Amino acid sequence: MTAAPVLAAPPAAERRARRIPRRAANTRPLWNLAAIVVIWATSLVVVAVWVAGGELQSLLAGGADSLNSLGRAAGLASANLLFFQVLLMARVPLFERGFGRDGITRMHRIVGFWSFALLLAHIGLQILGYAVQAGLNPLEQAWQFVADYPGMLLATAGTGLLLLVVVTSVRKARKRLRYESWHLLHLYGYLGVGLAIPHMLWTGADFTVSPAATAYWWAMWGVTLATVIVFRLGMPLTRSLRHGIRVRAVEPDGRSGVSVRMTGRRIDALKARGGQFFVWRFLDGPGWTRGHPFSLAADPADGELVISARLVGDGTRRLAALRPGTRVLIEGPYGTMTADERRGGHLLMIGAGAGVAPLVAILEEGDWAPGEATLIVRDHAAADALRSEAIARLVRERGLRHAPLPGPRALTTSSWLPTSHAQWSGSDLIRYVSPHTAATDVFLCGPQPWMDAVRTDLRRAGVSADRIHLEAFAV
């Protein structure tokens, strides 16, 4: 069998003076419950509106009435999901704290596809229902909708924009687009929603069935618009101006990476934690409006914000050209993958590429004894490793066990391992570096397919699901 991974750790490590964060009470279950209650409450209101409009009787009547009733049900469900599609990405604290960024990202994707599918069902059923009722050809009925009904021309344009967003979000299409191009196209979703709203509120029978229903829908979309303005625009701008974040230094990190160090006023007031991330906008010229999510790569308690990135696209390559003094706009901090998630016992950190950055920040901030924490790092080549100096310092000063696993990926069932360890199963390797898997907290960060493969082996090794902590921060 291939040799075991080398675990670097000194026989005796000196514990340096450091901040040990005060462990806050875990309020995430309460936030999660509150977020779920809001979602179910609004969904039940939608059902009540549909029933109050006499749609249940219409559904049982058969013929055109049934088609129209089903079409209105699909439209209501689509509108409700569209509402949450916007809310989930508006950085509303209720959902951020309740579901975490990883959960929100998954929900956003699922909700988006279902909302669009129900929208298509709504359009098709309503065209057929009205066509049967009027004795018209469905194509003729569709044209009448667009030409004669208030708001329908805008809704048609909005549907086209939503179709563009959905098509470019399919994984195969997403991989062919640069992040910057995809992100710009994705923003058209807001315009698509905005164009669809007038039709809902002007001509939708279930939206105008009563003054109370009309007031409810206007209020819902008013709240949605307010959350976007407050949490996506107002708060980030206010926070950025208050703290005056500027680039202090730009340094190479590994063979193909870069670290950006930033300072500002009262960084501690941001209450950022190791493992969290911000959306960053650097005011260095045209294109500054495009935000990029990067995790903190160092404990922010030292008075500066540090990010590390692999230079793989236009956005990351631009980091290398930043000049000291460049102003920075921030959104955040976001994310729940912090040292507070740890329940006790051994600490196993597994990162790939730039995914090592938040793990290093968590290790720098957290409280653990020498030999109690292990860091496994996957890179295509040893020279590509990020945060090497910070890791070496953690090994030297705090007794971190470090196991670098560089090399091309193995073509085995444990594809997250390198070819040098292809004869190992991932679960066996995990049990080797952390024998007491039932009492091990695992923090995981890297590309989604890679994390999925690691998580599978973690479960096979005996790590319980509630001790596996990971968080994605891109849609």
- Residue 318 CB coordination number (10 Å): 19
* pLDDT band of 177, cuts 50, 70, 90: low
Read off the pLDDT of each residue in 219-236 and give the average, rounded to a whole number. Answer: 87
* pLDDT band of 21, cuts 50, 70, 90: very low
Q: Return all residues near 85 (Cβ < 8 A) that are at least 6 apart.
A: 108, 111, 112, 115, 189, 193
Say whether both 187 and 115 belong to one domain: yes
Query: From residue 397, how far is each of 5, 18, 28, 304, 345 by CA, in Å?
Result: 22, 11, 33, 21, 20
The separation between the first and the last C-alpha atoms of the chain, rounded to the nearest angstrom, is 40
CATH code of the domain containing 267:
2.40.30.10
Q: Looking at the DSSP assignment, which residues form a beta bridge with residue 413?
A: none
Q: How far apart are CA 133 and CA 137, in angstroms?
A: 11
Is 292 a domain residue? yes
- Which of the two residues, 468 and 193, has the higher pLDDT score? 468
Say whether both 38 and 172 belong to one domain: yes
Give yes or no for residue 24 having a pLDDT over 60.
no
In the prediction, which pLDDT does 181 show? 65
Say whether both 411 and 273 belong to one domain: no
pLDDT tens-digit profile of 57-86? Answer: 888 888 888 998 898 888 888 888 888 888
Residue type, 256: S
Query: For the ranges 115-119, 264-268, 386-390, which has the lowest average pLDDT?
Result: 115-119
Classify residue 180 as exposed, middle or buried by CB count within 10 Å of its CB (0-12, 13-18, 19+): middle
- Residue 402 has phi, psi (to 5 degrees) of -120, 125
In the prediction, which pLDDT does 173 show? 61
> Is beta strand 277-282 parallel, antiparallel or unpaired with respect to 292-295?
antiparallel
CATH code of the domain containing 454:
3.40.50.80
Say whether both 203 and 170 belong to one domain: yes
In the sheet that 277-282 helps form, which strands lie side by side, from edge to edge?
292-295, 277-282, 328-334
Q: How far apart are CA 177 and CA 132, in angstroms?
A: 43
Q: Evaluate whether 382 touches 403 at the Cβ level (below 8 Å).
A: no
In the prediction, which pLDDT does 175 show? 66
Where a domain ends, among 232, 255, 276?
232
In the prediction, which pLDDT does 20 show? 45
Q: Evaluate whether 281 touches 289 at the Cβ level (below 8 Å).
A: yes
- Residue 271 CB coordination number (10 Å): 9
Query: From residue 452, how far is each of 140, 189, 433 by CA, in Å?
Result: 49, 28, 20
Is 193 a domain residue? yes
Query: From residue 423, how far is each of 6, 58, 428 by CA, in Å?
Result: 16, 64, 10
* pLDDT band of 183, cuts 50, 70, 90: low
In the prediction, which pLDDT does 14 show? 47
pTM, rounded to two decimals:
0.77
In the prediction, which pLDDT does 204 show? 61
Give yes or no for residue 306 having a pLDDT over 80.
yes
In the prediction, which pLDDT does 475 show? 43
Q: How many domains does the chain have?
A: 3
Where a domain ends, among 232, 258, 286?
232
Query: For the ranges 10-14, 206-210, 429-433, which has the lowest average pLDDT?
Result: 10-14
Question: In a 3-state reduction of DSSP, which class is residue 88?
Answer: helix
Say whether both 183 and 263 belong to one domain: no
Q: Looking at the DSSP assignment, which residues form a beta bridge with residue 310?
A: 257
pLDDT tens-digit profile of 97-106? Answer: 888 777 887 8
In the prediction, which pLDDT does 16 show? 45
Give yes or no for residue 42 having a pLDDT over 60.
yes
Say whether both 282 and 343 belong to one domain: no
Question: Which contiguous run of DSSP H or E holds residue 287?
Answer: none
pLDDT tens-digit profile of 336-382? Answer: 888 888 888 899 999 999 999 999 999 999 989 999 999 999 999 99
In the prediction, which pLDDT does 441 show? 94
Give yes or no for residue 171 having a pLDDT over 90.
no
pLDDT tens-digit profile of 403-415? Answer: 999 999 888 888 8
Is 404 a domain residue? yes
Is 13 a domain residue? no
Query: For the ranges 14-23, 301-310, 415-424, which has the lowest average pLDDT?
Result: 14-23
**Residue given tokens 């991330």 in the structure block:** 277
Say whether both 151 and 290 belong to one domain: no
pLDDT tens-digit profile of 122-136? Answer: 889 988 988 988 888
CATH code of the domain containing 106:
1.20.120
Say whether both 181 and 48 belong to one domain: yes
Query: From residue 51, how far is each of 57, 185, 214 by CA, in Å?
Result: 9, 37, 15
Residue type, 43: S
Q: What is the dihedral of CA 205, 209, 214, 217, to 10 degrees?
A: -60
Q: How far apart are CA 46 and CA 40, in angstroms?
A: 10
Say whether both 257 and 271 belong to one domain: yes
Nearest alpha-carbon partner for 233 in 186, 291, 272, 302 = 291
Is 18 a domain residue? no
Q: Evaluate whether 138 touches 115 at the Cβ level (below 8 Å).
A: no
pLDDT tens-digit profile of 331-349? Answer: 989 888 888 888 888 999 9
Say whether both 363 and 436 belong to one domain: yes
By percentage, how much of the chain surpasses pLDDT 70? 86
pLDDT tens-digit profile of 448-470? Answer: 889 999 999 999 999 998 899 98
Is 388 a domain residue? yes
Residue type, 197: I
Is 2 a domain residue? no
Q: Evaluate whether 399 touches 411 at the Cβ level (below 8 Å).
A: no
User: What does the block give as tokens for 397?
Assistant: 């000063």
User: What does the block give as tokens for 402?
Assistant: 């470090």
Read off the pLDDT of each residue in 180-200 and give the average, rounded to a whole number. Answer: 69
Nearest alpha-carbon partner for 259 in 301, 304, 303 = 304
* pLDDT band of 251, cuts 50, 70, 90: very high
**Residue given tokens 């708060």 in the structure block:** 235
Say whether both 343 and 305 belong to one domain: no
Q: What share of the chain is helix, strand, coil (3-state, %, to 5)?
A: 55, 15, 30
Upper half-sphere CA count for residue 469 (Cβ side, 13 Å): 23
- What average pLDDT is seen over the chain? 84
By percentage, how much of the chain surpasses pLDDT 90? 32
Where a domain ends, among 195, 211, 232?
232
pLDDT tens-digit profile of 423-438? Answer: 888 999 999 988 888 8
In the prediction, which pLDDT does 267 show? 92
**The domain containing residue 259 runs over which residues?**
242-334
In the prediction, which pLDDT does 220 show? 83
In the prediction, which pLDDT does 287 show? 78
User: What does the block give as tokens for 451?
Assistant: 């994390």
Q: Evaluate whether 216 touches 49 at the Cβ level (below 8 Å).
A: yes
User: What does the block give as tokens for 82?
Assistant: 């569209």
Is 159 a domain residue? yes
Give yes or no for residue 199 having a pLDDT over 50.
yes
Q: How far apart are CA 316 and CA 65, in angstroms?
A: 55
* pLDDT band of 205, cuts 50, 70, 90: low
Q: Evaluate whether 360 touches 387 at the Cβ level (below 8 Å).
A: yes
Say whether both 82 and 197 belong to one domain: yes
